[in-house]
Amino acid sequence: MNSYNTFLEQFKIAISQANRQIDEVELIAVSKKKSVEEIKSVIKFGQLSFGENQIQEVESKWINLKKHHPQIKLHFIGGIQSRKVKSIYQNCDVIHSIDRMKLVELFNKLENENQVAKDYFIQINIGDEAQKSGVKLSEADDFISKCIENYNLNIIGLMCLPPLSEDPKKYFIKLKNMAQKYNLASLSMGMSSDYDVAIESGATHIRIGTQIFGPRD
């Protein structure tokens, strides 16, 4: 898949222009609505981090794929329904979209029962947009504090989706400042259209779909 290697070159340029090192930013190939064959063609190039936003797709594609490629790290990046928590916990390694205390409690319970720790990001509704999920800005401090102080989950950082119609930079910087306040080292921000700005703003995880896999049907 040529688009993967083309993107990799652009990714390296963006890293270099931001005066950062390639190992500071984890590239997540977002494979939603893409076939197992398309995913395998990217694995072939050595890509090991993938993202999905629907648990049904995780179950139909990744249970088998991970048996054959156990080194792959699977990231869940979509909205989470309470009844899907168990499957997300069982089948994914990193969860990017924690935004309600109910989810924190459910994942915490599963970790206690199974003694297997995952990595988590808290999703912040950085633009306070009514239609988007994520913790509201007015509740973010309280939510982050409670997660860190009251639960044993490995909260590694914050995630956001900035408003589409605005310059994302100020939102990425806002997320970075919020994470620093709580000594959270990871920032999941930046997609195909704004990953370079995200890298410049301190992203540690970028979520790339279209530029790796091409447009979705």
**Residue 205 lies in domain:** 2-13+22-213
User: What is the number of structural domains in the chain?
Assistant: 1
pLDDT tens by residue, the chain, 217 residues = 589 999 999 999 999 999 999 999 999 999 999 999 999 999 999 999 999 999 999 999 999 999 999 999 999 999 999 999 999 999 999 999 999 999 999 999 999 999 999 999 999 999 999 999 999 999 999 999 999 999 999 999 999 999 998 999 999 999 999 999 999 999 999 999 999 999 999 999 999 999 999 887 6
93 close to 75: Cβ distance less than 8 angstroms: yes
| Residue 109: how many other CB atoms lie within 10 Å | 13
Q: Considering the entire predicted model, what is its pTM?
A: 0.96
We report the CATH number of the domain holding residue 103 as 3.20.20.10
Q: How far apart are CA 42 and CA 101, in angstroms?
A: 36
Task: Report strand pairing: 49-52 vs 26-30.
Answer: parallel
CA-wise closest residue to 140 among 94, 111, 173, 101: 101
